[in-house]
Structure 1
Amino acid sequence: MAQQVFPGRFTASVERSDVTVFLIGMRANKWWQVGRVMWTASRMPPMLQHLMTHPDAGMLGMQNWFGRTTLLLTYWESPEHLQRFAADREAPHLQPWRDFMRTLQGTGSVGVWHETYQVPTKDLEAVYVDMPAFGLAAATRHVPIGEGMKTARQRLGR
């Protein structure tokens, strides 16, 4: 499905004091062990479906890329929302994580990784030129760049 491209320059308008950025992914270390790789990869879609249908969980938006190393970029209301989802026995994360740690961790077949950043909005800067609504702008508000926002320094508020 084609996404609408917005001609011109846009930025993200974030109406909160900070945003939590969570990067997560997996790497097929032994790509020929297709069953283990696919088992691990198949655990993410139910999590994303749950998060998209439960906005109270706190995920604001996401983008993903696939390859030998996958990357899922997500934006959250707070680290507490992210941690609450990760530990929720009713959500589709905790049991797959336990299963992975019990059966695949240490085999070297599939690697998993994540990084979490809590970023004050005064330290955020984003620009999108001739792009669909993307990244932080898709997770918050996608707005045209106007007067006083033309440079990265201005968008950072410095």
Structure 2
Amino acid sequence: MVHTERITTEITEPITVFLIGMRVNKLLPFSKWWKVAMAMPPMIASLMKHPEKGMLHAESFFRFGPMTTIMVSYWKSPEHLENFARNPSDPHFQAWQDFYKLVGTDGSVGIWHETYVIEPGRVECVYANMPMFGLLGATKNAIPAKGHRSTFRKRLQGKEAVTGH
């Protein structure tokens, strides 16, 4: 469903934002980067099947030239994220080991990630003509972007928005 009005969302507890991706540095051998890329779908399927593992929402993107992927995911906490990454019974653990056996430091395929913990009152977002996307997809809490939520500064500062800055 596309929300046609301007909406926002708010968080009441810290939320962890995790960015992860892959960059193909050498097109050949195809099998190396393809195996790395194909490791992600089973991880996401497992996380969607088990919401108790803490992933709230995820969005994936792809760029050509050079081929690069990025996934933006939202988690209940950094502990949930770390537990998933390090648990030998979850699919990430084996994929991580397989990457270092298959690619190691040969430079053919790059992987990266960044983690941010965002506190309530320190995040701002707005959506227009959008479905449940990004942080809104994680919170599932669409709020009209009106009144004390009508501008970037007001949304970022909350009800006590400071004016004149």
In the superposition, the TM-score normalised over structure 1's length comes to 0.93
Match in the other structure for 2:136:
137
Match of 1:47 among 35, 43, 46: 43
1:7 and 2:7 are equivalent in the alignment: no
Match of 1:59 among 52, 55, 61: 55
**Displacement of 1:82:** 0.4
Answer with 26-35 or 53-62: which moved more: 26-35
Query: 2:143 is paired with a residue of what secondary structure?
Result: strand
Tell me the matched-pair count. 154
Match in the other structure for 1:22:
18
Query: 2:81 is paired with a residue of what secondary structure?
Result: helix
Counting aligned pairs with the same residue, the percent is 44
**Displacement of 1:10:** 0.8
| TM-superposition CA deviations, 1:54-101 (whole Å, max 9, x none) | 111000101110231100000001101100100111110101101111
Match in the other structure for 2:153:
153
In structure 1, C-alpha distance between the alignment counterparts of 2:58 and 2:134, rounded to whole Å: 7
The structure where strand makes up a greater share of residues is 1
Aligned amino acid, residue 25 of structure 1? G
Answer with 75-84 or 142-151: which moved more: 142-151
**Displacement of 1:143:** 2.3
Distance 1:93 1:78, change over 3 A: same
Answer with 39-48 or 4-13: which moved more: 4-13
Query: 2:45 is paired with a residue of what secondary structure?
Result: helix
Aligned amino acid, residue 42 of structure 2? P
**Displacement of 1:32:** 3.1
What is the aligned-residue RMSD (CA, Å)?
1.1
Structure 2 stretches lacking a partner, 5+ long: none
**Displacement of 1:130:** 1.5
Query: 1:130 is paired with a residue of what secondary structure?
Result: coil
Structure 1 stretches lacking a partner, 5+ long: none
| TM-superposition CA deviations, 1:11-40 (whole Å, max 9, x none) | 123232x11000000001112321111110
Match in the other structure for 2:112:
113
Runs of 4+ in structure 1 deviating by more than 3 angstroms, as ranges, are none
Aligned amino acid, residue 82 of structure 2? Q
Larger radius of gyration: 2
